[in-house]
Structure formats: C-alpha cells, structure tokens
Structure 1
Amino acid sequence: MKRFAAAPLFLALLAALPAAAQNFEPFTVSDIRVDGLQRISAGTVFTYLPIEKGDQVDSNTAAQAIRALFRTGFFNDVTLQRQNDILVVTVQERPAINRITLVGNKDIKSDELEKNLKEIGLSEGETFDRLQLDRVTQELTRAYNNRGKYNVSIQPSVTPLDRNRVDLQIDIKEGKAAKIKSINLVGNETFEDDDIRDTWESNTSNWLSWYRRDDQYSREKLSGDLEKLNSYYLDRGYVDFNVESTQVSISPDRRDMYLTANMREGEVYTISETVVTGDTIISQEEMEKLVLIQPGQTFSRRLLELTSDAMMAVLGNVGYAFANVTPVPEVDRENRTVKINFYVEPGKRVYVRRIAFKGNTRTGDEVIRREMRQFEGSWYSQAALDRSKVRLQRLGYFSKVDIETPEVAGTDDQVDVVVNVEETTSGSFTFGLGYSQLSGIIYSLGVTQNNFFGTGNRVGVNVQQNDYSSSIDLSYIDPYFTDDGVSLGYNVTYRELDYGDFNIANYLVDNGAFEATFGIPLTETDTVGLSFGIDYNTITPVLGSTAQEIVDYIDALDKRTFHAWRTELSWARDSRNAYWNPTRGTFQRVAAEIALPGSTVEYYKLYYQFARYWPINRALVLLTAAELGYGDNYDDPVTRVIPAANNTPERIVTADGLPFFENFYAGGVRSIRGFEDNSLGPVAAGSTSNFRQNLGGALKTTGTIEAIFPTLFDTDQTRLSAFLDFGQVYPSASDFEFREYRASVGLSLQWQAPIGPIVLNVSQPVLKDDEDEIERLQFSFGTQF
C-alpha cells in the first residue's frame, strides 16, 4: 500500500492549480455546469464554489475556486474549463467508506476502537481520505500504548468497490503488555517503599497480577499513582514535598518497563490557626464545628478536603447546590506552620425545577418517584438526593442508579434532577426435576417477582410435587398500600409433607395457613410490622419410624390437629446502602410471635437478627451478623397417663415447651455452612448415622464474620467472600453451652443471575462432632438471599 505525506501532496496540488484552471482569458460566467458527481449534490458544490453566474473569472479566480473545493475534503481532483461563456467544473469524488473491519483486537473492544476512529473523522458512510491512514495508525497505536502495549502492530488496507466505495480493514497484532520490572523511589528517607506504594495501581509482578494486571504499565495509572504519592506526603504534613522528576524506560524488545521517581520530602508542618470566612449562610459557630483539623495538629490535605466537603454538604442540604469552600493556606516556612482560611462562597440558593427518570423500561415512574426524597419545586438538598439514591438501590430492581443535577439553561438558581437507572432481574425462577427410590419423581416450580409488571408489588408462586409431598405457596405484598408507605401483604400456604425428606424428624404434616401482614414506616430506616393469621397442622406419626419424643408430645395432648391464631409484632431498622451486595449500613430486626389464647398450644417465639457491613476499603467489606431465636409455651404443661395395652407398659407423657413443629433449625447453605441443612442441634434418641432424626430446638444462636470482596469482579452482581460461621441449636435456654458450638470456614461465591440468585459454598468445619452431618460443597439456585 502506498503511503502519502501531507506536505508534498499539498505542494503538488498547488503546482498543478494553474494547469487545472487553464490560462484562459477573463470572461463573464453565463452559467455553471458540474461534471463527475456521483454521491455529492451539485448544490453542495455551489455552496463552496466562490463563483456565481455573472461573475468575471480569470486564472487567479479559478485557482481560488479550486482551492476552496479541495478544502472541502470531498474530492481527489478538481479542474475548471471554459466552454464559450459556461464554466465547467469537473470533479473526481473521493470514495465513501462502505465498511470498517477490525481484525485481531482482543484487549480493546471494537466499539471503543471505532469511537477513537470516529474522533479523527473515519467512520462508515464518511468520505475516505488516504491521508487519514497515517492518523489511523497513530491513533490506534496511542490507544494500545495507554494499555501498556508498546509492540502493537497496526496495518490498514483498502479494498476498492463499485459505485466509488471502499472497504477499510485494519489488522491489529496487539502483542503483549509491557510488564513493570522495577519501581524505584529515590529520596524517601522517612517512609518505606512498601508503605508509600500500598494503594498504588502500578506494581511489579506478584501472585495476584494475573487477575489485577497491576504489573502492566499504563501512563494513566502511573499518573494517578504519582498523585497518590503526592497525597501521601501532604496528608502527613510535608507541605514542601515535590516529585522532582520521573523516568520511564523500556527494554529493547518493548516488554519490560522500569519506573523511577525522584522526590524531595521537605519538613513536617503543623497547623497554627484555622478560620472560617466568607458568607457562611448558617452561623459561623456551626461551620467551625465542621473543621476537622485544629491548631497543633500535623498538616493534612485530606482533612482539609474532608472539612471543605462537609461544609459544602451542609450548605447543599439547605439549597446551595453550587457552594464552594476553598481552604487557603498561609505558609510560614521559618516556623514550619500553616494557617488555614476556609473561604466560603455559597453562590445562589437553588431549587429543583423538574425530576425526570431514564432507563426504567419496565418499572413505572411512580414506583421510582415515591422513593424520592427530593421534590420538584423545593429547595435543592444533597442529603435528600443521597437518601433517594440509597432507597432506589435498596429496592433491588436496579443494578445501577445515578443521579445528575444539570443546570437549567438561562438561569442560575434552578436545576433539574435526572435519575438514570439500569434495570436488573427483580425476581427469581426455580425449577427442579429429580428422582429417588423413596419419593419417586420430584418436581418443583417457583416464580417470585419483586417488581410485578413494574408496579413495585411482590408476587410469588411456588409449587412442589412428588410421591410423598406436595405444596403450594402464594404471596402478595403491596409496599405502598397507602401513600404514606404502609404495606399490605397476604400469604396463603397449603402443604402435605413428609418431613423425613427435609432432614427433619420423620412425620407427616398436612398444613394450611393464611396470613395478612402490615408494615408501618416510622422513619427513613425504621419500620414496625404487624401480622395476623390462622393455621392448622395435622400431624401423622409414621409407625415405627417417628421419634418417640414427638409421639409422646402428641399422645399427651391426645390430638393430631393443631390450630393456632397467630399474631406477630416486629421492629426493623435498615440502613444498608443496597439491596444486593451492600457495602455499608446495618440491619436489625426484633420480632415476637404469639399463638393467641384459644389456640391448641399457646406459645410464643422471639427473634433477633443483626447484620452490619463495615467498609474497610474500596476492595474489602467486613460483615458481622448474628441471629437469635427462642420459644416456649406460656400455658400449663399437659401430663397424661397412657394405660398399658397390647403388651406395652403404662406411660406417663408430657407436652411442655415449644411445640416440636415450631422448633428452630440450623445448618445449611444459608445458616452454618459446611453442615447439612437442619442437621445441627438435638437428635431423636436412638438416631444412627443411617437413620438420623433431627428434632431442632427452642433456642437458636448463629453468627457470621465474613470478608466480602465487592470489587473483585467487574460487576456488582457477583461477589466472593471468605467466611467464619458458628452457632448451635439447643433444646431449651437452660441447655446452652459454648462447648457445643459448631463452626466452619470457607469461601462463598454469589451471583445474581438473570433467572435468580446462585450460591456456591466451599466449607471446612473446624468445630464439629464425629456424629455431625458434613457437607463441604453446597450449592443453591434460584432462591432469594
């Protein structure tokens, strides 16, 4: 392929202009005709041609006209001729780009490269100029150099087509990214290299480089790291710190990079005085309380920035959206002190003109608007916008929420609020199919939709069927039954179960229940819940198989069917910043459930749940969680004598404590991982490893300490964590003993898949008993967590 240099070509064109224009005698143009056009209209030519009918044309005028048409970039050749008094303009159009094909690019996506090409005027449908080929090579080479790939090869080729079109193919050989072989810091006498570079994105090769790619050189990364170097010293009082020079060298094969930064530390400065000046709007005393750095402390740019941010946030909350607080330092180098003047410029008070929503193709505007705490026509409030964003993130309908506040054109005291959302899967679909010798063919089908038809209502249907069990669950919740945010929900359940199939003591249950629930918001984070319901359980022991403890309880009451009028009162506080994969905030819930007088068994159950997310840094969040449950009866124990019969001795049986079918259980994929579902706690007397009957208990205590890595993946829909789970279930509170605790450690991978959440746990029990049922690999698909 021939290469063209711009300057020689332009000089050649200038030399050719007199010939192209002909040395004709001056004449008056009676008409103008354009020959050679294919795609470009004659009107376009007339727009750029500086000659009109009636003008007098000579050689100089013709040369100027040719230059004007060449400057449009539309033509490879332009000539002017005279036929009588008609000016004939003959052009040769440059070809149009039919298609641009990128071959061999893997590290940079085609869309991104095409965007770079478009910026230099090269895109499909545009006019093709061979002079652009050099710019193509330079632009794409620059893009790859920014990724640390310095041995990239760019080879463009042009294929002519009919109708004056061309196809452009760009062959790319990316090569391998240059690796950082050494980073040398020169001049740091106070701090060690490892401490300074702890937060850098650039690093030499290490055991995580395969994933982080931190050993791949990038000019942008280095620039950011040098800014972190500057901040490191300024945050520790080194006001005169300066990076004197940086050197970046590359090996001859362009595969290894060597970085050197020369610095001068200087001396440590302290704060001599802090003042707040300007128009503070609120009282100066209140603004001074926000100053985080005080006289006598070591100078810290970070504390100055945090102080400025806090002041601007306070002003933003009362409508001053464009407030600016500038820390102005007065440096006394003789005494090595700094006086800081926080100068406040509030600007004009701003109100919100309009709130608009973008990206919600399924979710109705009203569902988003009712979560907004910033209102149209009211003063701008940054706190209200921040709270609105958190509430939207906690809905679970959106994978991303961004709020913009563009200024209204022509005004200086109005903004619009634009809420941009990216919708995600807001429900789950479960389907299971299997076979066992005991249960035969098993299938289950469940659908849960947290944003039903975009209304924000939650609807769930779950059906399961096999030879020995069947169930159907229906649920519905309207989170805004009233405009004040009072929620209303209904749950209807019918089950015929063989609990032996659920790793629970073996008995048959025919269960039906109806429940109405209400949620009453007290504050932005606090909610009171209230529910009323009725249910019945018909218990059928399995002859010779059901645990004797359960048989005795049933015989003491001399009943097979238990009905209950239930009510539950709860309080919950939720300050988490997201529904899925939160990184900060706390969740607490306290609940008391009571089977009211008149029920077959009068009992109560108490619950407490706690979870707190502690952001350690950008890449690590610590979760501490605990769950407690306790229950007991509040009516008198029932004792009954069963007379001897059929060669069985007389028995004295008692029904006391929490009913066995209301017991707590622990163990499993969402409890104490590493142990089988429901397997911890009391077991029936006579249980063996081949026939183990787990009874559950009246007291449950579990806890979790989990290190979550929320940014390990490119998407926040997937997370990896390392956990320590611990806890146990006891027959009653008096049986509690720490030495009976079970614990496990492991890794958990959780993915919010398009068809529902998926959880994969790999665990190793560290506190266990020889009789415990261990399950080191656990998998859960299609249920909410």
Structure 2
Amino acid sequence: MQISMTALRFKPTLLAALVATSVFQSAWAVEPFVLKDIRVEGLQRADAGTVFASLPFRVGDTYTDDKGAAGLRSLFATGLFKDVRIQIDGNVVVVVVEERPVISRVEFVGTKEFDKEALVKALKDVGIGEGQPFDRALADRAEQELKRQYLTRSLYGVEVVTTITPAERNRVNVTFTVTEGEITKIKSIRITGNQAFTESTLLSQLDLTTGGWLTWYTKSDQYARSKLNADLETLKSYYLNRGYLEFKIESAQVAISPDKQDISIAINVSEGPRYVVTGVKLEGDYLGKEGAFRQLVSIKPGEAYRADTVAATIKAFTERFAAFGYAFARVDFRPELDREKGQAVAVLVAQPQRRVYVRRVNVAGNSRTRDEVIRREFRQFEAAWYDGQKIKLSRDRVDRLGYFKQVNIDTVEVPGTADQVDLTITVEEKPTGNLMLGAGFSSAEKFTLTGSIKQDNVFGTGNYLGVEVNTSKYNRTIVVSTVDPYFTDAGVSRSYDVFYRTSRPLSTQGGDYKIVTPGAAVRFGVPFTEYDTVFFGAGVEQTEIKGDVGLPVSYRRHRDIFGEQSLSVPLTVGWARDARDSTIAPTQGRYQRVNLEVGAAGDTRYVRGDYQAQQYLPLTNRFTIGLNGEVGYGRGLAGKPYPVFKNFYAGGLGTVRGFEQSSLGPVDIEGAYVGGNRRINLNAELYVPFPGAGNDRTLRMFGYADAGNVWGEDEKLKLSDMRASVGFGISWVSPVGPLKLSYGKPIRYKDQDKIQKLQFQIGTAF
C-alpha cells in the first residue's frame, strides 16, 4: 500500500495532545489514589524506560488527574507516539501507546543537480532521516526544503512528490520523486529612471546578465536574490562615486514567466542632483591632533562627491584613533548640501569615546592549524594598549600565511569594565596542498611535463614540505624541500633542499651524454622588517659528466679542467620583498628579490647573481598591466672558469614565450644550447575581462610582449641580439592553481631559432 502526500497537513502531535488532555479531564476524572503499579502497552520499538522517564508519577505516588494530563503531554512531546491513552485499572495506571512508524529508508528519484549525500543532510536538518520517527508534517517540510535547495540553483520549475510506502515492523520507506525541469534564465534586465548614464553603461556594472555564449561557465544568467542585492549595491556605488550623493534605488522587481523558465528584472532608480565638494570641515574631538588628521583626508574640494573617498577618509580616521588606543571611536559624515547649486561641504564629526587595552587574544575556527602558528604572527600583545595598526598588521600577517580562506578579527568589550576588550581572530581553513603542472610540445622533446606537489602547512604546524619533479627529455629533476618558518622564536626560518638532477642541453645533434648533479642545501631567512626578509645559506653539489658522444665542447672543457666529477660548495645570500595584493591573481603592488651565490670552496670558484622585479598597475577596476624584469650575471673567481652548469637559460615558459624552452643564446659546435653567464628577461602583460565573464577575475584574457636572451662569456652583450615575441592567451585560476594558455609569435628572431608557438603552464604568474 502506498500513500501519496502532495498537500499540506496539520501537525498532529499538538492537536492530539490537546484533544487527549481535554477528553481525559472531562470524561476520565478520578479520585486521587496511591499507585500500586504502572503498565505500558503497545510498545514495539521504543524503550519502556523512555515512557517511564516521561511520566511525572512513580509507584507509591499519589495519582491525580493533573499528573495524568502532564504525563500525556510529556509523552506526545517525545514525538515517538501517534496516540497515547491512560487507563485506570483499580490502583494501577495502564499507559496505552501507538508508536509512530520509523523511517527505514529515504530515496530520491530524478535528482541530477545534487548529490544524494547533500540532499540527505538537508533533510536531516528538518527531521527526516533513516531511523527517525515519521511525521506527515515533517514530510511536507522536507518537500519545501528540497524545493528551496533547487531554487538556489535557479530551478524554479522543480516539482517534488513524496511517496510513503509502509514496511514490516511498523516502518516506512520515504521516496522523493523530483522533476527538476529546466534552469530558469534571466531573459531581460531593465533599468529605468536613469538620465546621467546610458542603460548599457549601467548594465555593464552588474554581475547578473542575460544569456551569452559564455554564461554556461559564469552562470551569470542564473538569478539569485543575493546576486541581485550585490548588484544593486554595485549600482549604488557607481552613482555615489560620481557625485550623486542622494541616489536611491526606488524599486527592484523580479517577474517569473508562467512556465517558470524566464525571469525579468526591472530596476527603477532616482539619481538626484550631482554634487561637487566645495570644502571639508572637521568637527568633534581630534585629541588635539587636528592637523595630523587633516593630512589623512582624501576628499578633494572642487571635484565631484565620491563615496569611496569619504569611506577611505573615515577608515583612515578610525585607524588613527585606534593607533592611540581608542578602539570604539566614531566618525560620522554629515554633508551640508546646497541643492540649488549642486554643492556640498563634507563635514566629518569625530567622537573618540574611551581608550582601552587588550585583555585577551582568542583564536577560533582553526580546526587543523595549531594555535601557536597563528599567535606567533600577532603583533598586538595581551595586557597592552589597543593598537589598531598592530592589529591590522597581525591580521595581514595571518592572512599572508596562505592557510586560510578568510581571516577576521572582532573586538569585544569585556563585561563589567570600561577600558578592556578581548580580540577574537576567526579563521576559515582551506586546503594548503598545491599541485603545479607545466607542459609543452616541440619537435625535439615532444611532450614534456613538469610538476610539483607542495604542502604549505604540514599537520597544521606551519611547516612546508614539497616535492618537485621534471620529466623533460633534457632536464630530469627531483627535489625534496622542507621549510620551518619559525626555526627560532624570533621568526628566523630554516629550509632544507635535497635534489638529484640529470640534465642535457637542448641539442640538434643528439648524443648519449648527461650531467648528473646530486646535492643538498640549507638556508635561513631572517626577517629584518615586517616586509623584508634576508636569506643566507650553504650547500654542497657534486657534478658528474657521463658519456662522450655529442658532448658539447664547453662541457668537455669543464671535464678537462675539473675531471669527470667536480665538487662545489655554494654560499647564498638573498633578499625578498612582496607587496602584491595577491600571489595568485595580483592587480597591484610590487614584488622584488635578489639572490647571490658564491662558490667559496670545492673544485669550482664562481659568483652568480640575479635580480627580479614585478610591478602590477590597475588601469581600471577591470584592466591590469603586469610588468616583469629579470637580470642575471655570473663569472669565475680565483682564475678559474665559470662553471657551465651554472649558466642561465632563456626561451619558453617564464622567459621569452614563442621560443622553445632553453633554446636561446649560444649554440655549441655540437649543436647544443648551453646557455650563458648573462641574462636579460622582460615581460609585459595586459589583462582584460574574458568576453561574457563579466567582472570575474578568475578567468581573464591577456596580451603579452616578451623580450630577452642570454650571452656567453666570450660574447659581447648587445641589445640587438635580444629576441622578442608577442601573443595572447587565457589566464584561469583553476582548482589546481593559476593556468595560462598562450599562443605567441616571435617578432625578433633568427633563422636558427627554435619556435614553439603554443604553450601552457599551471602554478606561476610569469
């Protein structure tokens, strides 16, 4: 027998309890008596102890009608019983129950959009799950919850039918049959009331769009109330940043077609007059430092009112107050408007409130990362005066660890005190493993693959562990690295590298030779400022040249001088500063690094240095220019030649795209590309929104221009030898890391150069 449930029903529990209580009181009133026994009848699955525990009377107590009514209410409240009766047999109370059926199995039919596990979890939240008592009202709520889940995916035409199938031993199977229907798409978005800007200009600011050729990826044509609210705020910000101080959104209406396949959105705006700021006034208490605060004002008289400059000024003021310990300072913006002239005076009213100090710093949300890993990044100490700048720096340092999706710090007043606060830093963990892949195809190497597996937060300790592998025909490498960022309490880091490299320069002639280099290194990083780190370390490398057929002359010369095996003991020192706003998809900021390596002991003596700088410039909120420059230089010391295996290389990914990897520079008489002791590398990229992707920065197009080369010791460095290429590509922040697919064309090259137009990489910016 099957019972189909498609209509809403009254929840029976409360109704049954009220009816039972009413009947009991009116028809079964008894004189109080002393209980000699209590019996329970009708139990199948529930434990008798559950019934006895719910009754407000025990054997030996005086039984009354009030206690009986309370017992009925208590038993119904357990949700285990469909009906409960109390019968009196002399001095014995008989509790007769009829149990609710228990859900044996929950099944879904026709569900394609969601995994079964996600739906099972959603229904458990409303009381429907295997092993739970069945309630018809809960089944109706489950239908509504399923529909709500589908509405979040823009499936407004979804239909859900619940089928209850009785099973043996008072059990039921619950089956939800879902007809998902088609995804409801946005058919039109209209903006009315606008006069200063065209409708197309305003629509381009919104993330929601009508259908396009890329909306299958961006899903921007799928309606969600949260997305619309965000777009309305974007629209408001657009006007407020262009002088329309009194701009308002009068209404935002959403209409769905009868077949629930199309959605139309109508937004009505009121622009109001455009205001120009004529002056800035500071009112209130500025702690006698009004001059210092006035220097923080970014509102410029003579220009149109901009809400973002007002917000930036208020933020700067509150941060300055916080730096003095005033955690709850208020700065209000009260404009004085002249509507006839379209002029406004920006009035900032400050109330510093009271000075406080931090009693305790709490850490929350770190399910994997240890507390000490977070706390050691803090620059605001407990029992010290509240310092907003140190708190912001602390938040930024924790965020820069890269272990968390979000990092927030909340300030909470300590109850019963006027000058104490607690800080709670709340983090949201994210996977800290990283997979990096790079590949290319050429006639010489065919398909080559490089990759690495890294874990930046091993076992929540904050330590780094990485394995890098290169399967290239000419360069095979395996490197195991580990870093302890807090080797000392002062923040000095320590890293170990163990590697085994087998390489052979790219050659047109082939050969059976190879250069094998096992080695190890240790390096320490000393933070000199909050943003600058100096590195120094030492290593040991043994280089062995195996084989002879096709061996380049430069390697043959090295073997003649140092033998088949040569030992190097390089000492390294370096400096790095990273001020980019993102390491994955930066839009502004600068990154710099310098590295110097000196062969101070062993068979070889040399010095090798390189410098790299990156600069990102936002042209608009959607267009960004990225610039990268790198120079390198090496030479031999103590009258010994510069080791050929320390040469720089150019061409391919990370240098000059459009040319095969490591194919630029000097060519040995054996046809091998052996690199050089000097390198120049320049890159420029212009990022633009991907057509149809709206403001999504995870998917962008770019055009690039690269230039560079390497020069040997016997060559004169001439800029006329520089190779150059231009091209375009796609940048996507994929689940496994940033991906770049580029197609390039050399514009400055020589006939002997090896061309590789199509290349891609995952895991690096340039």
Q: TM-score, normalised by structure 1?
A: 0.77
Counterpart residue number, 2:407: 402
Superposed, 1:347-496 pairs within 5 Å as: 347-348=353-354, 349-356=356-363, 358-359=365-366, 361=368, 364-395=370-401, 398=403, 400-405=405-410, 407=412, 410=415, 413-420=420-427, 422=429, 424-426=431-433, 456=462, 477-489=483-495
- CA offsets, 1:340-382, max 9 Å, x none? 4434344552415134365464x55444443333334434445
Superposed, 1:621-660 pairs within 5 Å as: 622-632=625-635, 660=644
Cα separation, partners in 2 of 1:750 and 1:770, compared to 1, 3 Å: farther
Shift of 1:70: 5.8
Pairing 1:267–2:249 present: no
Counterpart residue number, 1:128: 134
Cα separation, partners in 2 of 1:709 and 1:230, compared to 1, 3 Å: closer
Counterpart residue number, 1:652: none
Q: Is the 8 A contact 1:96 1:125 kept in 2?
A: yes
Q: Is the 8 A contact 2:240 2:307 kept in 1?
A: yes
Which residue identity lines up with residue 665 of structure 1 in the other structure? Y
Q: Which moved more, 1:402-411 or 1:520-529?
A: 402-411
Mapped to 2, the partners of 1:258 and 1:327 lie a distance apart of 37
Counterpart residue number, 2:727: 745
Cα separation, partners in 2 of 1:355 and 1:559, compared to 1, 3 Å: same
Q: Which runs of 5+ in 2 are unaligned?
A: none
Mapped to 2, the partners of 1:243 and 1:368 lie a distance apart of 43
Alpha-carbon RMSD: 5.1
Mapped to 2, the partners of 1:55 and 1:304 lie a distance apart of 72
Shift of 1:256: 1.6
Counterpart residue number, 1:726: 706
Which residue identity lines up with residue 741 of structure 1 in the other structure? R
Q: Is the 8 A contact 2:240 2:306 kept in 1?
A: yes
517, 527, 530: which one pairs with 2:533? 527
Mapped to 2, the partners of 1:377 and 1:764 lie a distance apart of 59
Counterpart residue number, 2:304: 298
Counterpart residue number, 2:743: 763
Secondary structure of 1:735's match?
A: coil
Q: Which runs of 5+ in 1 are unaligned?
A: 639-654
Pairing 1:150–2:156 present: yes
Superposed, 1:210-221 pairs within 5 Å as: 210-221=216-227
- CA offsets, 1:625-646, max 9 Å, x none? 221113345777x9xxxxxxxx
Pairing 1:696–2:700 present: no
Shift of 1:720: 7.0
Mapped to 1, the partners of 2:232 and 2:734 lie a distance apart of 37
Q: Is the 8 A contact 2:20 2:85 kept in 1?
A: no
Which residue identity lines up with residue 703 of structure 1 in the other structure? L
Mapped to 1, the partners of 2:607 and 2:657 lie a distance apart of 28
Mapped to 1, the partners of 2:674 and 2:657 lie a distance apart of 19
Shift of 1:97: 4.0
Mapped to 2, the partners of 1:232 and 1:378 lie a distance apart of 41
Secondary structure of 1:407's match?
A: strand
Q: Is the 8 A contact 1:246 1:261 kept in 2?
A: yes
Shift of 1:301: 2.8
Counterpart residue number, 2:215: 209
Which residue identity lines up with residue 297 of structure 1 in the other structure? E
Q: Give percent identity, aligned residues only.
A: 32
Which residue identity lines up with residue 753 of structure 2 in the other structure? D
Q: Is the 8 A contact 1:499 1:505 kept in 2?
A: no
Mapped to 2, the partners of 1:11 and 1:474 lie a distance apart of 69
- CA offsets, 1:55-112, max 9 Å, x none? 367xxx9889867876775543344544446565534343344444444344455566
Q: Is the 8 A contact 1:22 1:80 kept in 2?
A: no
Which residue identity lines up with residue 62 of structure 2 in the other structure? K
Q: Is the 8 A contact 2:500 2:519 kept in 1?
A: yes
- CA offsets, 1:135-189, max 9 Å, x none? 3333433443454322110112223344544333222222122222222222211
- CA offsets, 1:451-498, max 9 Å, x none? 566655556778999999998867665444433233445656676755
Q: Is the 8 A contact 2:25 2:65 kept in 1?
A: no
Counterpart residue number, 1:574: 578
Shift of 1:764: 2.7
Mapped to 2, the partners of 1:577 and 1:247 lie a distance apart of 37
- CA offsets, 1:596-619, max 9 Å, x none? 6x9877654331101234567887
Q: Which moved more, 1:287-296 or 1:716-725?
A: 716-725
Cα separation, partners in 2 of 1:105 and 1:561, compared to 1, 3 Å: closer
Q: Is the 8 A contact 1:352 1:379 kept in 2?
A: no
567, 591, 595: which one pairs with 1:591? 595
Mapped to 2, the partners of 1:91 and 1:558 lie a distance apart of 96
Q: Is the 8 A contact 1:352 1:380 kept in 2?
A: no
Secondary structure of 1:211's match?
A: helix
Shift of 1:411: 5.5
Which residue identity lines up with residue 271 of structure 2 in the other structure? E
Shift of 1:26: 5.4
Counterpart residue number, 1:252: 258
Q: Which moved more, 1:205-214 or 1:32-41?
A: 32-41
Shift of 1:191: 0.4
Pairing 1:169–2:175 present: yes
Cα separation, partners in 2 of 1:770 and 1:64, compared to 1, 3 Å: same
Mapped to 2, the partners of 1:461 and 1:244 lie a distance apart of 58
Q: Is the 8 A contact 2:30 2:64 kept in 1?
A: no
Shift of 1:192: 0.8
Secondary structure of 2:237's match?
A: helix
Pairing 1:226–2:235 present: no
Cα separation, partners in 2 of 1:281 and 1:197, compared to 1, 3 Å: farther
Mapped to 2, the partners of 1:778 and 1:196 lie a distance apart of 38
Q: Which moved more, 1:483-492 or 1:673-682?
A: 483-492
Mapped to 2, the partners of 1:345 and 1:213 lie a distance apart of 45
Cα separation, partners in 2 of 1:79 and 1:249, compared to 1, 3 Å: same
Superposed, 1:91-130 pairs within 5 Å as: 91-108=97-114, 113=119, 117=123, 120-124=126-130, 126-130=132-136
Counterpart residue number, 1:183: 189
48, 51, 56: which one pairs with 1:42? 51
Counterpart residue number, 1:664: 648
Counterpart residue number, 1:772: 753
Mapped to 1, the partners of 2:558 and 2:13 lie a distance apart of 102
Counterpart residue number, 1:647: none
Secondary structure of 2:626's match?
A: strand
Q: Is the 8 A contact 1:239 1:269 kept in 2?
A: yes
Mapped to 1, the partners of 2:224 and 2:735 lie a distance apart of 33
- CA offsets, 1:664-719, max 9 Å, x none? 2112333333322210122235x6xxxx3213223312223346799999xx9997
Mapped to 1, the partners of 2:395 and 2:722 lie a distance apart of 44
The aligned length equals 741
